[in-house]
């Protein structure tokens, strides 16, 4: 009761929802009794303890969710009459301004059909289906309807129906009043409203997809106005009146700044500006650029971290850091192009570090993202190899000493690339890797792959198990033995397949850890990864 459901997909991050008048509380109730227990083992006890968790895999029976409404005045609870089928997804819950109705975006098990529905809070009965959205591949609502202040009869809905996430103004009868934003760019956040001038404020990955800026548009329609001009990635907060906003941002050459900006005049008052924390130090340099994807048309963004004291006449070993999955964007115009501390550390040790966002990642539109549908890892690996070709053409890259590393989806991609392109990389480190998508959870897995029953060819094509015999390079697999996200079964099955095929990956377990290592063991993790590349590159 009252917890986030559907494994935190669809933007779900909580399980309770207060009505605006604070008299009613909507909440999720999740029934997992029909889901088979999945065993995790806790070795910290004298006799290891079995810790069962619920982990419905793709194609298997999933949990069932209902939505309750508790009335604080009467002490009664009423459940929304959502009906059958019971294994739908109930997402993006929102109250209307009068606190008497609840809006729910319902998604079918196949995740290609959405209905925005309104239920009466007191009776729980369905009062209206406002509209539907469908897509041949998938729909993924992540944002509830947001009601216009002072006008409870209108709300903003975010949709990618035209290929990019944009804002749509609806009335509560389900009539589309107008599309407020349009263009080949994605809205990333609805920030707020300006009641006085009837503006809606939002952030978007525009004009560049690796930046984030604040914009506004009138609810009556018209031109979109950009309010942040300094290049970089901006995060903003608007005051209730919509007259001022706080802008916090950084860029590749700006470690961070915060300003107060008047919305009407654009007058800017600098509140704080961070000094360069590396002033006076000799540190690795970070540069960014684009290369063409495997389709020879699409631009892909990369960053390249160069060693301290870089000398273009030398040849350096390279580590490719990869993720590449949905809901990710690693290269942005933040400080140092968002390079992580480990990348800087590796560059200080004399490595080049390369990171690129392939097709299938975020903030580039639905076609850019869902090109990977039903065959995860195929298009991504084709694009990543374009990055490798780019590196191999650089005169200062030692193509005989190339490594690759990633975690989770990136762990899958690491092994995937080693097996699809043996001999290209000398060594790889894969953390918490998915090995076969049939072992992954139902919501994510079925959205991007459909079920194993519906897509047997895709599951066969993307499984790493039959390819275990193609391993020719050094591979270290790292896994937490209590991983509830990518269960240990994945890497153990790969070990079994490798034994059967006569190949020899290295394997390291972090006892007592889940999908990521935390605390002091995280230091050990990065030391272990680094040592592997030091030993084999």
Q: Which of 113, 135, 327, 515 is catalytic?
A: 515
Q: Which helix (H) or strand (E) holds 370?
A: helix 366-370
Distance separating alpha carbons of residues 220 and 215, to the nearest angstrom: 15
For the beta carbon of residue 207, count every other beta carbon within 10 angstroms: 11
Residue 194 three-state SS: strand
Residue 41 three-state SS: strand
Edge-first strand listing for the sheet containing 176-179: 146-148, 151-159, 166-171, 176-179
Query: 483 catalytic, yes or no?
Result: yes
Query: 87 catalytic, yes or no?
Result: no
Query: 194 catalytic, yes or no?
Result: no
Residue pair 434/409 in contact (Cβ under 8 Å)? The answer is yes
Distance separating alpha carbons of residues 307 and 338, to the nearest angstrom: 16
Distances in whole angstroms, Cα of residue 39 to Cα of each of 50, 106, 189, 198, 303: 6, 31, 38, 54, 40
- Cα–Cα nearest to 512, from 54, 8, 55, 49: 49
Which residues, listed in sequence order, are joined to residue 171 by a DSSP beta bridge? 154
Q: What DSSP line would sit under 421-459, residue for residue?
A: STTT-SEEEEES----GGGSBHHHHHHHH--TTT-HHHH
Q: Which of 408, 463, 491, 498 is catalytic?
A: 408
Q: Write out the E strands in 268-366.
A: 268-273, 285-292, 299-306, 316-321, 352-356
Residue 96 three-state SS: coil
Q: Which of 483, 491, 513, 536 is catalytic?
A: 483
Q: Cis peptide leading into 222, omega within 30 of 0?
A: no
Q: Write out the E strands in 49-160.
A: 49-54, 64-71, 77-79, 89-95, 101-107, 113-120, 126-134, 146-148, 151-159
417 CB contacts (<8 Å, ≥6 apart)? 322, 381, 384, 385, 404, 424, 425, 428
Q: What DSSP line would sit under 490-531, residue for residue?
A: HHHHHHHHHHHHT---EEEEETT--SS--THHHHHHHHHHHH
Distance separating alpha carbons of residues 509 and 275, to the nearest angstrom: 41
Q: What HEC string does 375-427 produce? A: CCCHHHHHHHHHHHHHHHCCCCEEEEEEEEEEECHHHHHHHHHHHHCCCCCCE
How far is the first Cα of the chain from the last one, in angstroms, to the nearest whole number?
Answer: 51
Sign of the C-alpha dihedral computed for residues 420, 305, 229 and 292 taken in this order: negative
Distance separating alpha carbons of residues 228 and 236, to the nearest angstrom: 9
Q: Which residues are catalytic?
A: 408, 483, 515
């Amino acid at each position: 009761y009252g917890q986030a459901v559907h494994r935190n997909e669809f933007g779900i991050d909580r399980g309770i929802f207060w009505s605006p008048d604070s008299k009613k509380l909507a909440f999720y109730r999740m029934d997992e009794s029909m889901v088979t227990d999945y065993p995790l083992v806790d070795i910290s006890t004298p006799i290891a303890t079995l810790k069962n968790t619920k982990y419905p895999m793709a194609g298997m029976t999933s949990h069932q969710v209902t939505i309750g409404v508790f009335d604080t005045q009467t002490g009664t609870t009423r459940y929304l009459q959502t009906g059958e089928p019971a294994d739908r997804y109930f997402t993006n819950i929102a109250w209307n301004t009068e606190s008497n109705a609840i809006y729910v975006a319902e998604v079918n098990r196949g995740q290609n059909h959405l209905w925005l529905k309104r239920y009466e809070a007191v009776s729980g009965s369905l009062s209206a289906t406002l509209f539907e959205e469908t897509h041949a591949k998938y729909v993924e609502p992540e944002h509830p309807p947001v009601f216009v202040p002072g006008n409870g009869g209108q709300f903003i809905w975010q949709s990618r129906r035209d290929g990019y996430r944009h804002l749509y103004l609806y009335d509560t009868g389900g009539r589309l009043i107008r599309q407020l934003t349009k263009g080949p760019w994605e809205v990333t956040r609805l920030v707020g409203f300006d009641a006085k001038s009837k503006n809606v404020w939002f952030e978007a990955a525009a004009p560049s997809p690796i930046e984030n800026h604040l914009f506004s548009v009138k609810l009556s329609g018209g031109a979109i106005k950009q309010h942040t001009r300094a290049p970089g990635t901006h995060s903003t907060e608007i005051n209730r009146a919509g007259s001022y906003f706080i802008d916090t941002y950084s860029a590749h050459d700006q470690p961070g700044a915060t300003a107060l900006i008047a919305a009407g005049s654009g007058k800017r008052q600098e509140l704080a500006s961070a000094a360069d924390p590396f002033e006076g130090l000799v540190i690795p340099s970070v540069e960014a650029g684009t290369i063409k994807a495997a389709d020879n048309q699409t631009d892909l963004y990369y960053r390249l971290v160069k060693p301290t004291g870089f000398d273009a006449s030398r040849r350096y070993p390279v580590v490719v850091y990869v993720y590449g999955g949905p809901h990710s964007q690693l290269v942005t115009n933040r400080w140092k192009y968002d390079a992580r501390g480990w990348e800087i550390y590796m560059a200080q040790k004399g490595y080049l570090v390369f990171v690129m966002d392939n097709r299938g990642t975020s903030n580039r539109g639905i076609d850019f993202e869902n090109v990977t549908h039903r065959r995860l890892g195929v298009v991504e690996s084709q694009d990543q190899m374009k990055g490798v070709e780019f590196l191999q053409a650089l005169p200062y890259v030692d193509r005989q000493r190339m490594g690759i590393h990633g975690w989770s989806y990136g762990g899958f991609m690491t092994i995937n690339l080693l097996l699809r392109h043996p001999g290209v990389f000398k060594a790889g480190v894969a953390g918490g890797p998915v090995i076969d998508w049939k072992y992954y959870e139902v919501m994510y897995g079925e959205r991007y792959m459909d079920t194993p029953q519906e897509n047997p060819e895709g599951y066969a094509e993307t499984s790493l198990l039959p390819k275990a015999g193609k391993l020719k390079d050094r591979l270290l697999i790292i896994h937490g033995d209590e991983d509830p996200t990518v269960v240990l079964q994945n890497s153990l099955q790969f070990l079994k397949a490798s034994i059967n095929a006569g190949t020899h990956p290295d394997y390291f377990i972090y006892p007592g850890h889940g999908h990521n290592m935390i605390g002091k063991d995280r230091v050990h993790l990065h030391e272990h990864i680094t040592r592997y590349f030091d030993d084999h590159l």
